[in-house]
Amino acid sequence: MADASVPPPPTVPEAWLPNKLRKRQGLLDHTDVPARQKVPFIHWGYRPPPAGPWDLIRSIFRIHNETGNIWSHLIGAGYFAWVGVDAALGFSRATSFEQQATTLWIFLLVVASAYCCVCSVVFHLCSCAHVGVRDCTYKMDLTGIVVLIAASYFTGIALGYRCYPALRSFYLAYAALISVALAVPLLKRELVKDLAQHMVLCVVLGLVPAVHFLCAATGKEAACVLPYLLLMFGSYGAGACFYFARWPECCWPGYFDIVGHSHQFWHLFVLMAAVCWLQGCRAMTEIAMLCEALDVPEEGMILP
């Protein structure tokens, strides 16, 4: 996933890795790469411009400062692809329209998660490429983030509010508005001054349907959803802390150029959040399939 803003790196000492290793890898120092490729507090490990597409692809299997970012979401994409096959088989085994609809929502979330991971991989793979390619893949990465957030909203609302049609329709429309707001930077970047804050605000607004559900739902419903909500938002929150603080590399510049810098933690927490929410939505299918057995009627929830 892309950094929303990249200020120039400060003047810092040489990276701590041995010169012999640095030369063997053929990687560059931050003083030798264009400003668009520089990452604050990351001094070394930058790839030179690729000689061609195959050179770029081969860099997937080499060690550099994007290796962790690429592989964290490449593995994530593989996981979601595997889960997607399982969801597709589940759809073929469904015996009713309700089961098919529920499985389709799960499949939507899986596809969105896989798409986000793939977009992230492509961007980080192409971060050393020509400026036109990099800008294109940057927008692709942002699109993946928007798609994942929107799909998380829609799937959670569609399954969690399955037994409350009026609220379900209301919050699906609410999620659509947030999704449009998320997509604004993709269409008119100049309309959003701080992209990172804009994304965080939209995610926070997504808490409204979740909080309403937890406050008004039955004990069984809340107990089913709460652990996954806490894990998901906790993971996103922890990842955001690393993302904005740029810790630990801000405290020890040059020591986390290859492994352990903040963006790698951000990737891992985003992946963890997506997996947690997928499991939460799977758990909510029990609510969606057993509406008639719930203790609270539709009128039991108070409209906002």
Report the predicted TM-score, pTM, of the whole model to 2 decimal places.
Answer: 0.87
User: What span, in angstroms and rounded, lies between the C-alpha atoms of 182 and 201?
Assistant: 9
Mean pLDDT computed over every residue of the chain: 86
Which residue is listed with tokens 């951000």?
A: 266
Q: Which phi-psi region, left, alpha or beta, contains residue 74 (left: φ > 0; alpha: ψ -120 to 50)?
A: alpha
| Long-range Cβ contacts of 278-281 (<8 Å, 24+ apart) | 278/83, 278/106, 278/109, 278/110, 278/113, 279/228, 280/156, 280/225, 280/227, 280/228, 280/229, 280/231, 280/232, 281/105, 281/106, 281/109, 281/155, 281/156, 281/159, 281/228
| pLDDT tens-place string over residues 106-149 | 999 999 999 999 999 999 999 999 999 999 999 999 999 999 99
Burial class (CB within 10 angstroms; exposed 0-12, middle 13-18, buried 19+) of 184: middle
**Per-residue pLDDT at 1:** 64
Name every residue whose Cβ is closer than 8 Å to that of residue 194 and which is 6 or more positions away in sequence: 4, 5
**Which whole-number Å values give the CA distances from 152 to 86, 196, 254, in the listed order?**
19, 19, 36
Does position 271 have pLDDT exceeding 80, yes or no?
yes
Does position 13 have pLDDT exceeding 90, yes or no?
no
**Per-residue pLDDT at 21:** 55
**Which among 260, 239, 236 is positioned nearest to 250, based on CA atoms?**
260
Q: What would the DSSP string read from start to end of 51-89? A: SSHHHHHHGGGS-STTHHHHHHHHHHHHHHHHHHHHHHH
For each of the domains in the chain, give its residue range(s) and CATH number, in order of start. 22-288 (1.20.1070)
Rounded mean pLDDT, 224-244: 93
Residue 17 CA, chain-centre distance (Å), reads 31
